[in-house]
Structure 1
Amino acid sequence: MAKYWIGFLGCFFSVWTVSCGQPSPKKQEKVETTSTPQDNAKSDLKLTFQVLEEKYLGKTQSRSSLTFKNTGNAPLLANGWTIYFNGSPSYKAKDTNGPIKIESINGDLLRLTPTENFKAIASGDSVSVELVSAGQIINDSRAPYGFYLVWDKEPAKGHAINTQYVKPTKNAVGWIEAQDIYRQNQVIQDIAEDKLTKVFPAPVQYTKTGTSIVLTPATGITADQGFANEQQHLEAFLENVFGKQDAAGAGATTIQLKKKAGLGAEGYELQVQPKSIVISATSPAGLFYGIQSLKTLMPPLALAKKQTSVTIDGVQVKDAPRFPHRAFMMDVARNFQPKDQVLKVLDLMALYKLNVLHFHLNDDEGWRLEIAGLSELTQVGGRRGHTLDNLQFLQSAYASGPDVNNTTGSGHYTKADFIEILKYAKARHIKVIPEIETPGHARAAIKAMDARYYRLLKEGKKTEAEQYLLRDLNDKSVYRSVQYWNDNVMDVSMPSTYQFLEKVTDEVLAMYKEAGAPIQTIHFGGDEVPKGVWEKSPSVHALMKKDASIKEIDDLWYYFFNKLNAMVKARKLYLSGWEEVGLRKVRDNGKLTYVANPVLAKENVHVDVWNNIGSNSDLAYRMANAGYKVVLTNVTNLYLDLAYQKAYEEPGLYWGGFVDLDKPFYFIPLDYMKNMKVDESNNPIKPGTFAGKEQLTAKGKANIVGLQAPLWSERILSPERQEYMLLPKLLGLAERAWAPDPTWATEPNPAKSEALYNTAWSQFVNILGKRELSRLNYYHNGFQYRIPTAGALVENGKVVANVQLPGMVIRYTVDGSEPTVQSKVYSGSIAEKGTVKLKVFDVTGRGSRVTVVENK
Structure 2
Amino acid sequence: MHINKLNKKMLALTIVASLTLLGCEKSPKPAIDTGEKINLQAIYSVTQNDIDNIAKNLDVNYRVITNIPSDKCDSKVADGACFEVQLTFTAKQVIAAKDWTIHFSQIAPIQSFESDDFTVKHLNGDLHQISLKDNFSGFAANEKKTLNFRAMFWSLAESDVMPNYIVSAPRLEARVIESTVPFIDKDTGLEILPHVETFTDSNAQFKRTASDKTQWLTSAKLYQRNSVLVQDKLAVIQAIIPTPKSVNIDANRGFANISQGVAVSLGNVKHKDVDAALARLTTLGVNQNLQGLPLRLSISGNGNKVIGSYNLNVTAEEIIIVGVDANGVFNGLQSLASLVTVGENRIPELTVDDEPHYAFRGMLVDVARNFHSKEFILKLLDQMAAYKLNKLHLHLGDDEGWRLEIPSLPELTDIGAKRCFDASEENCLMPQLGAGIDENSSVSGYYSVSDYHDILKAASARHIQVIPSLDMPGHSRASIKAMTARYKKYQALEDEAKAKQFLLEDFDDTTKYSSVQFYGDNTINACLESSYDFIVEVMTQVKKIHADAGQPLTRYHIGADETAGAWLDSPACKAFVANNDKGVTQMSELGAYFIERVAGILSELDIETAGWSDGMEHTRKENMPAIVQANAWDALFWGGHDKVHLLANRDWQVVISSPDVLYFDFPHEADPKEHGYYWASRHTNTEKVFQFMPDNLPVHAEFWLDRQDNAYIADDTKTPLAAGQKFLGIQGQLWSENVRTDDMVEHKVFPRLLALAERSWHLADWAVPYNYQGAKYSQQTDTFNSKMQHKRDSEWAVFANTLGEKEFAKLELAEIDYRLPTVGAIIKAGKLHANIAFPGLTIEYQVNGGNWLTYQEPTEVSGQVNIRSRSINGLRASRITQVK
Same fold judged by TM-score > 0.5?
yes
Q: Residue 231 of structure 2: which of 182, 190, 209 is its match?
A: 190
The superposition leaves residues 483-518 of structure 1 with CA deviations (integer Å, 9 ceiling, x where unpaired) of 011111111111111110000101011011111113
Deviation at 1:758, TM superposition (A): 1.3
Query: Does the aligned pair in 1 maintain the 2:699–2:714 contact within 8 Å?
Result: no
Query: 1:800 corresponds to which letter in structure 2?
Result: H
SS at match of 1:700: coil
Distance in 2 (alpha carbons) for counterparts of 1:141 and 1:812? 26
The structure 2 residue matched to 1:159, chosen from 176, 181, 203, is: 176
Alignment equivalent of 1:84, drawn from 103, 110, 121: 103
Residue number in structure 1 paired with 2:866? 837
Q: CA deviation at 1:78?
A: 5.4
Shift of 1:798: 4.7
AA partner of residue 340 (structure 1): E
Per-residue deviation, 1:689: 4.3
CA distance in 1, matches of 2:292, 2:269: 25
Residue 124 of structure 2 aligns with which residue? 106
Matches of 2:48 and 2:119, distance apart in 1:
29
SS in 1 for 2:504: coil
2:488 is paired with a residue of what secondary structure? helix
Is the Cα contact below 8 Å between 1:85 and 1:146 reproduced in 2? yes
Q: Structure 1's 805 and 601: CA in aligned 2 closer, same or farther, altered over 3 A?
A: farther
1:535 is aligned, of 568, 581, 595, to 568
* 1:567-602, Cα deviation, whole Å (9 max, x unpaired): 111122221101023313xxxxxxxxxxx8443577
1:556 correspondence with 2:579: no
Residue aligning to 1:853: 883
Name the amino acid aligned to 1:664. Answer: V
Question: Partner of 1:170 in structure 2?
Answer: 201
Give secondary structure in 2 for the equivalent of 1:435.
strand
Q: Give 1:709-748 correspondences, 5 Å limit.
A: 709-746=732-769, 748=783
Residue 435 (structure 2) pairs with residue 383 (structure 1): no
Distance of 1:813 and 1:472 partners within structure 2: 62
- Aligned counterpart in structure 2 of residue 47 of structure 1, from 42, 45, 60: 60
Q: Give the alignment of 1:247-396 within 5 angstroms.
A: 249=290, 251=291, 253-262=293-302, 263-301=305-343, 310-396=345-431
Q: Is the 8 A contact 2:285 2:343 kept in 1?
A: no
Contact 1:436/1:523 (<8 A) preserved: yes
Does the Cα contact within 8 Å between 1:641 and 1:653 map onto a contact in 2?
yes
Per-residue Cα deviation, 1:677-699 (whole angstroms, up to 9, x for no partner): 3444341424x443645332334
Assess, with a 3 A threshold, how the Cα gap between structure 1 residues 476 and 801 changes in structure 2: closer, same or farther.
same
Does the aligned pair in 2 maintain the 1:454–1:465 contact within 8 Å?
yes
| Unaligned 5+ runs, structure 2 | 1-45, 72-79, 181-194, 207-214, 770-781
State the SS of the aligned residue for 1:384.
coil
2:846: which partner in 1?
813
The 3 A distance-change label for structure 1 pair 153 and 241 is closer
User: What secondary structure is seen at the aligned counterpart in 2 of 1:118?
Assistant: coil
Deviation digits for residues 327-348 of structure 1, max 9, x if unmatched? 0001000000111111111101
Task: Give, in whole Å, the separation in 1 of the partners of 2:55 and 2:784.
Answer: 66
Counterpart position of 2:141? 123
For 1:434 and 1:783, how far apart are their aligned partners in 2?
A: 24
Which residue of structure 2 aligns with residue 581 of structure 1? 615
Deviations 1:735-762 (A, max 9, x none): 0000123325459462212211211111
- 1:456 matched to 2:490? The reply is yes
Which residue of structure 2 lines up, in the alignment, with residue 569 of structure 1? Answer: 603
**Where in structure 1 are there 5+ consecutive unaligned residues?**
1-32, 303-309, 585-595
State the AA in 1 paired with 2:764: D
Do the aligned partners of residues 772 and 530 (structure 1) sit closer, same or farther apart at CA in structure 2, a change above 3 Å counting? same
Note if contact 1:107-1:397 (Cα within 8 Å) is conserved in structure 2.
yes
What's 1:499 paired with? 533
**How far 1:89 moved relative to its partner?**
4.4
CA-CA distance at 1:275 after TM superposition: 2.1
Shift of 1:839: 1.4
Length-normalised TM-score, structure 2: 0.85
Read off the aligned partner of 1:293 and give its amino acid letter: S
3-state SS of the aligned residue for 1:57? coil
Shift of 1:159: 3.1
- Residue 181 of structure 1 contacts residue 791 of structure 1 at CA under 8 Å; is this kept in 2? yes
Residue 631 of structure 2, aligned match among 590, 594, 608:
608
Q: How many residues align?
A: 786
Q: Please state if 1:65 is matched with 2:75.
A: no
1:771-819 alpha-carbon deviations (Å, 9 max, x no partner): 111211112xx111111111233456654332111112222233234x6
1:685 equivalent in alignment to 2:711: yes
CA–CA distance in structure 2, aligned partners of residues 290 and 438 of structure 1: 39
Aligned-residue offset at 1:227 = 2.5
* 1:347-406: CA deviation from partner (whole Å, max 9, x where unpaired): 010000000000100000000001011000000111101112111110001121122121
Aligned to 1:790: 823
Return the alpha-carbon distance in structure 1 between the equivalents of residues 670 and 843 of structure 2.
Answer: 21
2:772 corresponding residue in structure 1: none
Instruction: Work out the CA distance in 2 between the residues paired with 1:240 and 1:535.
Output: 58
Secondary structure of residue in 1 paired with 2:365: strand
Flag the 1:601–1:634 CA change in 2: closer, same or farther, 3 A. farther
Q: Is the 2:285–2:342 Cα contact (8 Å) retained in structure 1?
A: no
Letter in 1 for 2:199: P
* Cα contact 2:160–2:676 (8 A) shared by 1: no
State whether residues 600 and 625 of structure 2, in contact with CA within 8 Å, keep that contact through their aligned partners in structure 1: no
Q: Does the aligned pair in 2 maintain the 1:89–1:110 contact within 8 Å?
A: no
Instruction: Tell me which residue corresponds to 2:463.
Output: 429
Match of 2:212 in 1: none
Q: Please give the residue correspondences for 1:510-549 in structure 2 after superposition, counting only pairs within 5 Å.
A: 510-531=544-565, 533-548=566-581, 549=583
- For 1:458 and 1:252, the matched residues in 2 are separated by 70
Instruction: Classify 1:152/1:778 alpha carbon distance in 2 versus 1 (closer, same or farther; 3 Å).
Output: same
What is the match of residue 32 of structure 2?
A: none
Deviations 1:449-494 (A, max 9, x none): 0010100111111001111011112111111101011111111111
Moved more, 437-446 or 157-166: 157-166
Task: Provide the rounded CA distance (Å) in 1 between the counterparts of 2:830 and 2:761.
Answer: 46
CA displacement, residues 709-756 of structure 1 (integer Å, 9 cap, x when unaligned): 010001111111000000111111100000123325459462212211
Give the drift of 1:825: 1.1
Deviation (angstroms), 1:91: 2.8
Distance 2:508 2:480 in 1: 14
Report what 1:204 is aligned to. 245
Instruction: Supply the AA of the counterpart residue of 2:633.
Output: W
Taking structure 1 as the reference length, the TM-score comes to 0.88
Secondary structure of 2:882's counterpart equals strand
RMSD: 2.3
The percentage of counterpart residues that share the same residue type is 28
Cα pair 1:301 1:775 within 8 Å, conserved: no
Q: CA offsets, 1:113-134, max 9 Å, x none? A: 1113433112333333323223
- Give the aligned partner of residue 661 of structure 1: 686
The answer on 1:221 being equivalent to 2:221 is no
| Aligned equivalent of 1:466 | 500
The residue type equivalent to 1:63 in the other structure is E
Identify the residue that residue 152 of structure 2 maps to in structure 1: 134
Instruction: Report Cα offsets for 1:393-434 as digits up to 9, x if no partner.
Output: 1000112112212121x1011111111111110010000001
